[in-house]
Amino acid sequence: MTNPPAAPDPKSLRASDRDRERMAEILRDAAGEGRLGMDELDERLSAVYAAKTYAELEPIVQDLPHGAIEPAPGSAPAPAAGTAANRFGGEPTSSAAIAVMGGFSRKGEWVVPGNFTAVAIMAGGEIDLRTARFAERVVNIHAVTVMGGIAIIVPEDAEVHVTGTGVMGAFEHGPTGPGKPGAPKIVINGVAFWGAVDVRRKPFPHRKKLDPARDTREDVQ
């Protein structure tokens, strides 16, 4: 009688982008709590995004709180992004965001121009592109921060190229990589001087179910 094949070791399974991003969040939280220095954070983030299995991820975070390696809850494939018909086109909401000793936020259902400039001087800013429309299929974001920070959240299906530079600061390059067919291409450059530009891929947020008639009207706009 032939014995059934042994179940595979869970740690030998391939990790998903969502798993890698979850581990990256643990590292960033640890750095914010003073558990990791910036050099070690950069080194470990590079290792996380290069890891292919749970076994490769485990040593990177095992000495940190909440560092257990297991598939993320609800690791089913992410829902497909919006179709080109409702994702591209429209009049740009704004072409720049500037904050000096203050803050700015661009998120929700806004229209991103082909070229967008973000500047934060002793200030903070947030640019969330997940539920935005794109005036063009290629978006160039020029981010400059001086003694401040800018967080840029890109859709998980987008093609992303980050070429920015940190000068006595940090410019996150981790999300650089290919996207899915039909998704936007996002190019992010600039400089972080005594500050940080934090670029992250995140899943599409859950949206409330709206009245169908209202959805139709909004799609036509």
Task: State the pLDDT confidence band at 43, using cuts at 50, 70 and 90.
Answer: confident
In tens, the pLDDT along 148-189 reads 999 999 999 999 999 999 999 999 998 999 988 889 999 999
Mean pLDDT is lowest, of 51-55, 64-68, 84-88, 95-99, for 64-68
**Domain ranges (residues) in the chain:** 11-72, 90-204
Cβ atoms < 10 Å from Cβ of 219 = 10
Q: Are the CB atoms for 203 and 72 separated by under 8 Å?
A: no
Q: Which residue has the higher pLDDT, 177 or 64?
A: 177
Confidence band for 142, pLDDT divided at 50, 70 and 90: very high
The 10s digit of each residue's pLDDT in 19-38 is 788 888 888 877 777 788 88
In this predicted structure, what is the pLDDT of residue 206?
Answer: 58
Residue 144 pLDDT grade (very low, low, confident, very high; cuts 50, 70, 90): very high
Q: By the 8 A CB rule, do 106 and 126 touch?
A: yes
Q: Which among 127, 171, 163 has a CA at the least distance from the CA of 145?
A: 171
